[in-house]
Amino acid sequence: MSATSERNLLAFDVTHRLVLSIAIPMTLGFMTTPLLGLVDTGVVGHMGQPDALAGLAIGAMLFDLILGSFNFLRASTTGLTAQALGRHDLREQQGVFWRAFISAIACGLALLCLSPLLLIAGLKLMGPEAGVAQATSTYFSIRILAAPAALANYAILGFVLGRGQGTIGLALQILINGINIVLAIYLGLELDWGVAGVAWGTMVGESVGALAGLAIVLRSFKVGDRPRRAEIFSRHRLSELFALNRDILIRTFVLIGSFAIMTRIGSSFGAVTLAANAVLMNFFLLSGYYLDGLANAAEQITGRAIGAAHRPAFDRGLKLTAIWSFGLAAAVSAFFFAAGPWLISVLTTSEDVRAAANTHMPWAAITGLTGALAFLMDGVFIGATWSSDMRNRMLMSFAGYLAALAVFVPLFGNHGLWLAMNAFLLFRGIFLAMLVKPRADQTFAAAQ
C-alpha cells in the first residue's frame, strides 16, 4: 500500500458532534470535581471556624502541588494513546497504558514513603498559624494514603481519553467524586469528623475509582494485541516517555507553584482573606473544569490527527474546539457575575469571609475568559506531544506572572494578587498560540 493510500485509510472527519461527544461527558465528569471542592469547603465552612477552612485550603493546595505535579501521567498517556489510535496501532495502545500505569503506582508508593517530609516542607513553605497547621496536618496525613490510587487514576483517565472514550471517563469521575461527596457530608457533618471526614472521603473515592477503572481497561484489551514485556520496557519507548514526562512535569510544577505562591501571598493578608480566596478559587476551578472538557477533546483530536498524518482534521479540530471553548467561557463568567454572591453565602457562614469574597468576586468570575485560550492550547500541545514548547512557554509566562505580582500586589493588595493571576492565564494562552501554526507545519511536513 502506498503512503498516500495509507493516509487516506487513516483519515477521519472532525465535526461538532465528534468534539462534543468527547467534551460533554468529560465536562460533566469534571463538574463533579469542583462540586466536590464546593462540598468540602461547605462542610468545613459550616463549622464556623476560619482556622479549619484555612487549613483545608492549605491542605488542598499542597495536594494540588504534589499530586498535580504528576499530571504528566495523564497528559502524556492521552497524547501517546491518541497518536497510536490515529495509526490504528492496537499493540502500542496497550504498551502506552502499561508504561503509564506502572509508573503511576511506583510514583504513588514513593510519595507515601516521603509523606512525613513532604508535610513538614509544606508547612514551612506556607507558614500557617498553629490552628491552621493542625487542620492541615490532619487532612494531609489521611489523604496521602490514597496517593498510589490517585496517580493510577491519572494513567487510567489519560488512556480512556486518548481513545476518545469520554463516557467511560465520565463514569469514573462520577464514581470517584460521588463517593467522595457522600462520605464528606456523612463523615464531616453527620459524624462531626470535620476536616478528617473530608480527607477520608477523598481516600476512599480514589481507591474505589482506581480498582473500577483498571477493571474496565483490562476488559477492553484483546490477548492478540498484548505487547511483549520487552516492548513495554523498550528503551526507545521509555526514553520517549521520560522526555515527554520531564517537560510536562516542569510545566505542571510551575503551574501548580503559581497557585501556591498565590495562596502564600494571600495568607499574608490574614486568615479571613485567605479563607475568602479559598472560596473564590472554587469559581476558578469550576471554570477550569468546564474548559478542561474541551481541552480533552482538543488533545484527543490533535493526537489522533498527528498519528494519522491528517492535517485537515488537525485544523478543523482546532477551529471547532476554539469556538466552543470561548462560548462556554463567556457563559460561565456571566453565570458567576449573576450567582456569585449567592454561591459565596452557601459556601461559608462567616460574615467577614463573605464580605471579603464578595469584594474580590469579579476577579474570580472572569478567570474563565482569561484562561480559555490557555486551556485550549494546553490540549493541542498535549495531544501533539510538543512538550518542550509547553515547558518553555510556561516558563516565559511564569516570569511575566512574577513581574505582575511585584508590581500589582504592593499597589492593590489582594486585588493586585487576582489581577496578576488573570494576567498569567492570558500569558499562557497567547504565548502558546503563537507557536501552533509553525509547529503544525513542521510536524505534518515531516510525516509526508
When pLDDT is averaged across residues 71-78 and rounded to a whole number, the result is 88
Neighbours of 331 (CB within 10 A): 11
- pLDDT, tens digit, for every residue of 240-272? 888 888 898 888 778 878 888 888 888 888 888
What is the rounded distance in angstroms from the CA atom of residue 347 to the CA atom of residue 43? 8
Listed in sequence order, the residues at least 6 apart from 11 whose beta carbon sits closer than 8 Å to its beta carbon are: 308, 310, 312, 313
What is the rounded distance in angstroms from the CA atom of residue 380 to the CA atom of residue 207? 30
Higher per-residue pLDDT: 263 or 289: 263
- Among 47-61, 225-239, 280-294, 342-356, whose mean pLDDT is lowest? 47-61
With a cut of 60, say whether residue 7 has pLDDT above it: no
Please report the pLDDT score of residue 107 as a whole number: 93
Spatial contact of 61 and 259, defined as CB atoms under 8 Å apart: yes
Per-residue DSSP letter, 431 = H
Please report the pLDDT score of residue 249 as a whole number: 85
- Model-wide pTM > 0.85: no
329, three cell numbers: 467561557
Listed in sequence order, the residues at least 6 apart from 234 whose beta carbon sits closer than 8 Å to its beta carbon are: 95
What is the rounded distance in angstroms from the CA atom of residue 275 to the CA atom of residue 286? 17
13, three cell numbers: 472527519
The position carrying cell 509547529 is 439
What is the rounded distance in angstroms from the CA atom of residue 277 to the CA atom of residue 377? 27
Listed in sequence order, the residues at least 6 apart from 55 whose beta carbon sits closer than 8 Å to its beta carbon are: 128, 131, 132, 133, 134, 135, 136, 138, 139, 195
Please report the pLDDT score of residue 58 as a whole number: 79
With a cut of 60, say whether residue 6 has pLDDT above it: no
Please report the pLDDT score of residue 400 as a whole number: 96
Please report the pLDDT score of residue 428 as a whole number: 95
Please report the pLDDT score of residue 101 as a whole number: 95
With a cut of 80, say whether residue 203 has pLDDT above it: yes
Q: In the chain, what percentage of residues exceed pLDDT 90? A: 42
Spatial contact of 306 and 83, defined as CB atoms under 8 Å apart: yes
Q: Alpha-carbon torsion 380, 427, 261, 277, what sign? A: negative
User: Apex CA 71: angle with CA 70 and CA 72, to 5°?
Assistant: 85
When pLDDT is averaged across residues 104-118 and rounded to a whole number, the result is 92
| Structure confidence at residue 407 as a pLDDT band (50, 70, 90) | very high
What is the rounded distance in angstroms from the CA atom of residue 79 to the CA atom of residue 248? 12
What is the rounded distance in angstroms from the CA atom of residue 162 to the CA atom of residue 83? 8
Phi then psi dihedrals of residue 176, to 5 deg: -60, -55
Spatial contact of 184 and 39, defined as CB atoms under 8 Å apart: yes
91, three cell numbers: 499493540
What is the rounded distance in angstroms from the CA atom of residue 219 to the CA atom of residue 222? 8
What is the rounded distance in angstroms from the CA atom of residue 63 to the CA atom of residue 55? 12
- Percent helix, strand, coil in the chain (nearest 5)? 90, 0, 10
- Secondary structure (3-state) at 348: coil
* DSSP letters for 49-93: -HHHHHHHHHHHHHHHHHTGGGTHHHHHHHHHHHHHHHTT-HHHH
* DSSP letters for 142-205: HHGGGHHHHHHHHHHHHHHHHTT-HHHHHHHHHHHHHHHHHHHHIIIIIS--THHHHHHHHHHH
Spatial contact of 111 and 121, defined as CB atoms under 8 Å apart: no
